[in-house]
Each structure stands twice: as structure tokens, then as C-alpha cells.
Structure 1
Amino acid sequence: MSNLEKEISQRRTFAIVSHPDAGKTTMTEKFLWYGKAIREAGHVRAKANRSHTVSDWMKIEQQRGISVSSSVLNFPFEGRQFNLVDTPGHQDFCEDTYRALTAVDAALVLIDSVNGVERQTIKLMEVCRMRKTPIITFINKMDLDGKDIVDLFDEIEEILQIQVSPFTLPIGYGKTFKGVYSLAENTFHTFDVAGKQEIIQLSGPEDPVLLERCGEAYYNEFIERYELVTGVMEPFDHKMFLEGKQCPVFFGSAVNNFGVRQLLNAFAELAPAPMPRAAETRVVEPMEDKFSAFVFKIQANMDPRHRDRTAFLRICSGNFQRGAKVLHCRTGREIRLAAPTAFMAKDKEVIDEAWAGDIVGINDPGLFNIGDTLTSGEKLQFTGVPDFAPEFFARVLLRNPLKSKQMNKGLNQLSEEGAIQLYSPFKSPFP
């Protein structure tokens, strides 16, 4: 195996998507902690003596306790290099999430056990289904009183239209949540709010140790569900998973760091390495020697010290070297990318090289648009970066006519960054 193939095969690029407040950003913090990218997981709504989350770096995100812009973070884990996109769940910022899904090879769907499948999750799953994105599902907040797991399975299959394949099953829920049983490993992972969790190896679900640890009532309830799930549901099929037709399902509690490592292990093992990408003229394979990438996001003001603008590149093939000259396919110009950066939310670090599957940032002097393609010389245009019909409308009126130039400049910049879609009256140069 060449060095190129080795590096690319280690990449895992995925997004976390869900309805608002299902636990995306909390899950992201736990992933970063396991990847040793942070020393302490932050809190979405941090108190004075607690740190804020890494991915919610904007002041408005910290004040409101929500994500309003997708954040890119990278971290190593178990011999893999993960590129993680934490996306906003609120409908106001859904277009940013839709575009982020074009840059990933898999997605983690978080479902709140209390509320089940919600509206925004349905919309995001439609995008994943359209792109045949492999999905892994995590049912979160099992430490709260939520829906029955059979009802949750039915919702996922009927509403999200994807076959489920449970990898773990919970024993109890809410205040009586005992832990989860791993179907593949025959292990019982005990739950404890204080974090004193154990992993107990069992001979199978009938092991008397499980009965002893859970109590007769909860054990009998678990056996009933176990027999139902294993008797009715299809076994896991990796081919169907890669085609976006079947999703592994895990249970846990992100805020209590329970079930998170199992989930991350599954991503390392099951999620695909960088996938081929369709261009207008051909399909680009990730293992090709020649570099190619596309812009899926533009973000301004990541550095509070000055106005900056960063273009987010998803590398689709080959190896990218710092200082390389590349072709900007839309304009036909050759440009030099002097300082590519790796991301940890708002923090950026200049890197010397990157590989297919990586997401890197480059300084944008106003040259790039969302959807632009960069290559080492070949004229290409990647497809799949969609335009969306606007969901909210607002009219901008200028109180001071002397400020029209500044207003138009600001609106155009927001439009170029994909934050808004700008429309003007017919035959009028002004919005």
C-alpha cells in the first residue's frame, strides 16, 4: 500500500445532524475528549466556572446555547483521522447544514429518546437519503423518561424510511436506566450518573450475571425486547449501510458520557473512507494522485482581531501540499495556496499537507464562491452542491440613503458566504 493510499484510508469524514437540542454539540465535545483534542468537555450553557463548548465559538452561540453555524473539527482516534462537522439544528440555519452534508462521507443522526423523530431530523434525513449517505443513529438521553424503544424503532423505519439494525439495547430507562447490552460483543455496559461505569463480559443475554445486576423485572423486560428485535429485525448488512439503506442504532447519554466510546468505535470500524465524487465530466476517485477539491462553505470573522474570510475546502482526491499552485476552475486562474489550515472550530493551524477526505481552510480575498472547484490542472466541476429555495423572507429597508453603499456591500458579503439569498426588484440594482 502506497503512502497516499494509507493516509486516505485512515480518513473518516462525517457530520452530526439532528433536531435542535438533541445533543449534537455535547456529543461533539465527548468525541474531542476521546480523541485527546481537548482536556475537558465543555458545556453548551456554561456557568461562570465552566468552559464553553469548542464548536460553539460564536458569542451568540454561547449566549443562546445553540449552534448557528457548522463547525469543522479534526482529531485522531484508534488509528483513524476524523474530520467532524458539527451542524446547526435550528431551521433558521438549515441551509448551512445541507451544504455541510455534501462534504462528508457519513452522518451521525442523534435522536432524543424523549421526543423521538422530530421535524428537522426528517428534513435532514431527506438530504442524506438523496445523497445515499451512510447513517449511524444514536438515541440520546436514555437517562430521562422517554419513549419505548420499539416505538422509536418504528418511528425511524416508518418516518425516516431506513431499516434499523440495533447494535446495543437499553435495559430500563430514565431513573431506572441500568445500562446497555451489546449484541455483537455480549457485554453489559452499566450506567452510573457518577461515571462509575463497568463493562461486564457475558456468555449471552441469558447469563445469570445480567439477571443479578438488573433485577428480575428489568431483566424480563429486556429479554422480551431482545427476542423481538433479534426475531423480527434484519441482521446488519455493511453493503446496505454503505448504500444508506440500513443504519446501526446505539443507545446512551451523551451528557453522562455513556455509550459514546462504543459509538466512536463503530464509526472507526464501519464508516467509509473517502468516497468517489461525481464531477460533470467524470467520477473522481479519492486515490488518484492529482489533487482536487471543492468549496462548500465560506465563513467571515473567525479571527476577532480583524475581518477575515475563510473558504472551507473538502479535498476529493490526491495529496495537497502547502504552497501548491492550483487551478481555480470557474475563473480559469492559477492561484497559489500559501497557508492552508486545519480547523478546531474557530482555531486554525497552518498545515504542510492534507489528503483526500480532509477539510482545510484557505484565505479568501473575495475570489471564491460556494461550489467552486480547485484542481492541480484539470478542468473539472464537482456536482452535488445544491441551491435551495429560501424558507424565510425579510425585506431590508434603508433609513439613511447615504448608507446604501455600505448596506449593499454587507448584504453581498452575506450572500457570498451563503448566509442569505439576495433578491432585488426587477430592473433595480438595489435589494
Structure 2
Amino acid sequence: MQVWLRRFPLLRRSFSDMTRTRNIGISAHIDSGKTTFTERVLFYTGKIKEIHEVKGNDKVGAKMDSMELERERGITIQSAATYCKWKDININLIDTPGHVDFTIEVERALRVLDGAVLLVCGASGVQSQTMTVDRQMRRYNVPRLTFINKLDRAGSNYLTTYNSIKQKIPVRSALIQLPIGQEDTFSGIIDVIERKAYNFQGRYGEIPTEIAIPENMLEKTQQTRQELIENLADVDDFIGDKFLNGETLTNQEIKDAVRRSTIALKFSPILMGSAYKNKGAQLVLDAVGDYLPSPYEVKNVGLDLDKEEAKVELKIDPKLPLVCLAFKLEENRFGQLTYIRIYQGRLKKGDYIINTSTKKRTKISRMVRMHSNEMAEINESEAGDICALFGIECNSGDTFTDGTVNYAMSSMYVPEPVISLSIRPIEKNAGIKFNKALAKFQREDPTFRVKIDEESNETIISGMGELHLQIYAERIRREFELPVELGAPAVNYRETIHGRADFNYLHKKQTGGNGQYAGVQGYIEPIPDLKPGELVPSRFVDKTIGNNIGGEFKAAIQKAFLECCKKGPQVGYPVLNLQYVLIDGQTHVVDSNSNAFMTATKQSFRHAFPNAKPTVLEPVMTVEITAPHDCQATVINGLVKRRALVKDTFTRADGTAGIIAEAPLAQMFGYASEIRGNTQGQGEFSMEFSRLEPVDPGALEELKMHYQEKVRREGNDDD
């Protein structure tokens, strides 16, 4: 333990002064530099001794990308927590993924954080996931700083990026910094409030050095400062009064107004720099302390379950009853690790806590503070803090108390999955390990869903995108040493007929002793008087006259017919809207039995079905798409290639294009990736079942061929 204390001196600090604590997240569009920025934060705060790059050549990788898959792919997959100290401010920090497939990681982090840093690429500006993150921050009322990153890159332009922020992000923003130079000449930053300039000396820019503001930037600095004051005057009464009266504002008055307006969710100060070039991260850390709220300054509300979920304000007071939220679950070699945000009260090792969802009482046996994938033992934590517990059985989003109150925190928003794939273990007899893996990932990730298709018996996994599901398949291979195979799930086709076909089949078999003898006569036809689009199970109709066939044999005939309808002869899917009409039959006093009549029925059905104008029906989906207007033609062309019929196009209230189309479900697999690619990540779509329609003849032949191959491969014989 002494080693941990020496390595992490923050563990010795008291958490009693939460006014000096900041719980923040780092969020952005993919490849905007979040993890690179966080690596600099850890270095400048003394948490790490060397800087490693996300896609570096040293095969170490950034500290917060601890998963091997993250380092291989150069992306963040799971949010990672750490803690550090900058000057007199204690910081709990969560680095979140940028890829839309892992948006739940951002969602649950922002659910428990008090503030955030929103990174925007200085070359690309506001992108699709930037706007998604903005919506998430506004959903949970999270104040934010905005950091324009990558100003060293070719094509970067802080003004263009600033304008895109003002146009696309519905939170008033203004610059509090200016860059010195641009692209490859970017060398430092000007603080427009203090009217000071800095460059960054040392191997990793670890020494911010005050320099004179360049002569050619003096006027721009004053203009930007004045613009900042004008923006603050619109959102802060104190500044508004001073501004209208023409009074001069002090630097501290401006900074205090920025803080008030930011915490009130009315304003976001914009900073800038280049994390990769080691410029600007220290000034962002200063701004975190200056402008983002402490836990005391954030209003948190619980629901009193004993009073019909009446709202109750939670206070950052360790003496009040404990209320904490499990916001993230993670499995490691020690068991389930549960990340906890404490909203009220104090949590100590050895305490008993109660899950208000299950009413289960559990003793706290182990508490830790996380530094990416490393952990340090702690004995207690209190209101306003974030820590992790071992040995707790719960789901993500469960609330724990000390039992003296029965409160629950409001749940986080969980988006619906947009894509599904089938998955199966390649090895036989791997069912137990396979199911264990799927159960683990479902506990970890609310957007990862698993179900068994009743008809195909396939295991279907659903998630936020193809990458999302591919990552889980790869994690099963690595973490459980179980190779799996992904594939498109089977579409729920249906078989039916459009005409009538007669049958008259006699089954005779003599093998010594009692033989088999059964004759059936009648016809198959579509069920009459159905409404257009109506789908009903196939049925048996008895129209026999006399006693040629006994009642026990009719029961066998009906049973065999219904078995035939479970797995149609064309592609192996259920047969609907068909009736099997029995009008007569033949029996033998010795050789007739139920098995003989079941065989005769199955053969009569197989012989008659091809003559009754059979067809295969496929699900047709109504697809609604939202996309930028300049991408509309590309989107429509993509739909046409998927055999879709565009029914309507229109303009939505927000100015985007709306498209409504109908498309076969079988053609829509993989569309989530296509729509993102065709719209620069800004397109969205939803699907719902519309009706069943006959399959295109070319597709039908392919389906039949695949089914016949499957029957041959499985050695299936229905006789």
C-alpha cells in the first residue's frame, strides 16, 4: 500500500473540502484529440512521467487507452477514469470515446459529472458527434468549456471553427483566448481577459512562459475582449448593467461573470491550442478551476420512492444519509468493478449499503480509486466524489443508500440499437462460455442486446453500429478465448400460395408383418375472404363425408399438416394463409395407422404445393431518413440500389432533408454504416415493419438455392 501512496500522493488528501474538487469529462467527435489532450493533463499534473501517443511507435500507447484493442485501433472504446491535482484543485476526470457506436460511454459519464471540456478540431470544426455530445451535455445540464484543438494542423482556422460553433452549438460562446500564428507557425496563446501571452517551453511544453503580445495582435486582442464582454452582457445582469452604463470592467469581474454564466449553462468560454504539440493544456486546467463548478455548485435531485417518486434535493454533506449511483460496470480479473458517484453522505469500507431496486443489502469489502486500468485502495469516500467498488451485484443505473432513506436517482438515457447481427461460437460445446460472455457484456453495456430468434434459433446481438458489435465479437475471442462468427441475421420470410392444387396420395409400404396403408384426397388453397395484407396461420379443414377415415386418423392428418407448415418446402420458413381441405381417404383394416396417415399427409402436401402458385413473402420496412440537403441525392441513390422505393421527400423544421422509403429488410443490413458514410456522419434513420410482400424472382431463386444447400449440408430429411 505504501507504494501506491508514494505513486499517488492524492490518496493522502482529505475529500472534505469539495469546493476544490472538479468532476469533469473530456468529450468530442472521434479523432478530435481527446485522449491526446488527457495524456497531457496527466503529464502536467504529475500522474505520468512520460507522454505516449495514441498511435505512437513505442508500442506503449496513451495511458487512458488501456485496452489492447484500443491501442491496436487507435480509438477509445471504453470511458476511463482517473484523478489528478492541478495547483489547489482536485480533479476526477473521465476520458470518453468519440465514435458514435460507443455513445453510451459518453452518456453515462455525463450523467454523473459536474462539468466537461468539449474538444473541437480546429481543422474540421463542429462535426456530427460534436453535436451529439452537445445534446448529451444539455440533457444532463453539464456546464462546459470548449477547446479548439489541433491548431497546428494544415487547414486549421480558429475563426472558421469559432463560427461553426456559434452556428451549430445552441449555447452562447465567445473566445477568451487567441492563437499566435496558425498551422505550422502556431506558437502560443493570448489570454484576452488578462491581456497576456504565453508560449510553452521544455520537451513536452511543460513550462508555460509569459511573453509579450505580438504587436500585430494587440488590436485583435482588444476587439476579442470587447466581444467577450458584449456576449457576457447578454447573459449576466452584473456585466449587462456595467456595460450599459459604460463602466470599465476589471479582469476579475469578467472572470467571475464567465464563471457564473458557465455554471448557469448560459455560456461556454472558448479556449484553444494543440494538445499534440503540447500547447494550451495547462491553461485549460486553469480554466477548469476558474470556470467549472465544484460539486457544491451543482443541484442534484433524487426521487423519494416512499412518496411516489417525489423529487428531493441531495446535498454535498457527508453527515446526511448516503445516496450514490452505480453508473458504470466493468469486469476484470478481480470480479465486477462498479463505478460509483456519491451524491450525499459518506461511504466507508465495511459499511452496508442497500440497492433500492432489488432491496439487497451488501457489505463494502473493497474500495478503490481508478487511474485508467490501475487502482489504489481507499478506505472511505464522501459526497461529491467518484470511486469504484468490488463485490457489488447490480445493474448500471442502480441507486444505493445506507437504508435510512429510500431514494433513487433518475435513469440515464439509453438509445435504441440500430443494427443487429447473428453470432455463434465456432467451437462446438462452447455454449456455457459463450453465454457467460454475452451476459457479461449485457451487464456492462445497456446498448448491447441479445436475443434468440425463435424461428432460426440464431443468437442475435444488437448494438449502435457494426464496429460496436465487431468489438464485442473480438473481445469474446480475446477475453474468453472463444472464436466466434458474425453474420447477418436470418430474415423472417414466410411462404404461401396464390392458387389451388388437388392431391390424391396413397401411401403403401409392406416390410413383413403389419405394413403401412393410408390414402388422402383433397386440395390446398389460399384461405378465402382474407383482407389485403392479412396474415393468419394455415389451417386444416375436414370436409369428408361418411366414415372412410376414422377420427384418430384425422387427428394424425391435422398434426402432420401443421408440422409441414412450420417449415415450408421452398426456403424452410412458416407457411401462412393456406388451408388443407380433406374430402376423402382410404384405409386398410390391418395396415392403416396414425404414422401411415402422417406420412401420406406430408407427401400429399409436398406434391401439391408446387402446383398451387407458391411464393415467398419478405418483410418490407418503412424507412425514415434525416440527412443534410446536399447529401439527399446520394442517399436516394443508395436506397435505390437496395431495392427501396422512395415514397416522399420533404424539408424538416430544422432545415434538414427528410426521406421516407419502403425497402426489403434483407437489403437494409449494413445501412447504418452506409448512411453515415454518405452524409459525413450526420445522417440518421429509423425502420419499422410495414407488411409482407412477394420476394423479387431473382432473390427468390437465390433463397431457394441457399436453403437446398443448407438441407444437403445438414443431411436433413423430413420423411
> What TM-score do you get using the length of structure 2 for normalisation?
0.54
Counterpart contact for 1:276–1:286, Cα < 8 Å: no
| Change over 3 Å in CA distance of 1:41–1:230 after alignment to 2 | same
Question: Equivalents in 2 of 1:234, 1:256: separation in Å?
Answer: 31
**Which amino acid is 2:371 matched to?**
M
Residue 103 of structure 1 corresponds to 112
Q: Give, in whole Å, the separation in 1 of the partners of 2:157 and 2:260.
A: 29
For residue 91 of structure 1, what is the aligned residue in structure 2?
100
Which secondary structure state, in structure 2, belongs to the residue aligned with residue 272 of structure 1?
coil
In structure 1, the partner of 2:35 is 25
Q: CA deviation at 1:295?
A: 0.6
Equivalent pair of 2:259/2:292 in contact (CA under 8 Å) = no
2:51 to 41, 44, 58: 41
Name the CA shift for 1:143/1:405 in 2 (closer, same or farther; >3 Å). same
5 Å-filtered alignment, 1:337-356, equals 337-356=364-383
Per-residue deviation, 1:148: 3.4
Distance 1:173 1:254 in 2: 14
Change in Cα spacing, 1:400 to 1:44, as seen in structure 2 (3 Å) is: closer
CA contact (8 A) 1:4 1:318 kept: no
Q: 1:231-380 maps to which residues of 2 (within 5 A)?
A: 233-234=231-232, 236-274=257-295, 275-281=298-304, 282-287=312-317, 289=319, 290-301=321-332, 306=333, 308-364=335-391, 367-377=393-403, 378-380=405-407
Q: For 1:226, give the aligned amino acid.
A: T
Corresponding residue of 1:206: none
- Report the RMSD for the aligned CA atoms in angstroms: 2.7
Q: Which is richer in strand?
A: 2
CA distance in 2 between partners of 1:416 and 1:178 (Å)? 47
CA distance in 2, matches of 1:331, 1:262: 45
Q: Within 1, Cα distance between the matches of 2:313 and 2:421?
A: 40
Q: Identity rate of aligned residues, in percent?
A: 24
1:422 corresponds to 2:450:
yes
Partner Cα separation in structure 2 for residue 67 and residue 22 of structure 1: 11
Aligned residue pairs: how many? Answer: 411
Tell me the SS of whatever aligns to 1:67. coil
User: Contact (CA 8 Å) 1:276, 1:316: kept in 2 or not?
Assistant: no
Q: CA deviation at 1:192?
A: 7.0
| Deviation for aligned residue 1:327 | 1.5
Give the counterpart letter for 1:185 in structure 2.
E
Rg larger for: 2
User: Structure 2: which 5+ runs fail to align?
Assistant: 1-12, 234-256, 305-311, 461-719
| Distance in structure 1 (CA, Å) of the matches to 2:453 and 2:314 | 40
Query: Which whole-Å CA distance do the structure 2 matches of 1:112 and 1:104 have between them?
Result: 23
Task: Please tell me whether residue 14 in structure 1 is matched to residue 24 in structure 2.
Answer: yes
- Is the CA contact (8 Å cut-off) linking 1:5 and 1:287 kept in structure 2? no
Contact in 1 for aligned 2:115/2:143 (Cα 8 Å): yes
State the distance in 2 between where 1:309 and 1:131 align.
26
The one-letter code sitting in structure 1 at the alignment partner of 2:363 is R
Residues 278-304 of structure 1 deviation map (CA, whole Å, 9 limit, x = unaligned): 222222122252222111111112xxx
CA offset at residue 386 of structure 1?
2.3
For residues 283 and 123 of structure 2, the distance between their equivalents in structure 1, rounded to whole angstroms, comes to 21
Task: Decide which structure has greater helix share.
Answer: 2
Q: Which runs of 4+ in 1 moved over 6 A?
A: 426-430
Q: Counterpart in 2 of 1:395?
A: 422
Maintained 8 Å contact 2:258/2:269: no
After superposition, the Cα gap between the structure-2 partners of 1:133 and 1:406, relative to the gap in structure 1 and judged at 3 Å, is same
Partner of 2:71: 62
Tell me which residue corresponds to 1:205. Answer: none
The residue that corresponds to 1:177 in the other structure is 186
- Distance in 2, matches of 1:379 and 1:426, equals 40
Q: RCO (CA 8 Å, sep 6+): is it higher in 1 or 2?
A: 1
Cα distance in 1, alignment partners of residues 265 and 375 from structure 2:
33
Match of 1:200 in 2: 210
How far apart are the structure 2 equivalents of 1:338 and 1:354? 14
Residues 398 and 191 from structure 1, CA distance in 2 versus in 1: closer, same or farther, beyond 3 angstroms? closer
Displacement after TM superposition at 1:140 (Å): 0.6
Change (3 A) 1:321 1:152: same
What is the distance in 1 between the residues matched to 2:269 and 2:126? 16
Deviations 1:40-77 (A, max 9, x none): 222212323x7422111111111111111000001122
Which one of 129, 139, 143 corresponds to residue 130 of structure 1? 139
Deviations 1:123-164 (A, max 9, x none): 111011122210101101111233433322221122111111
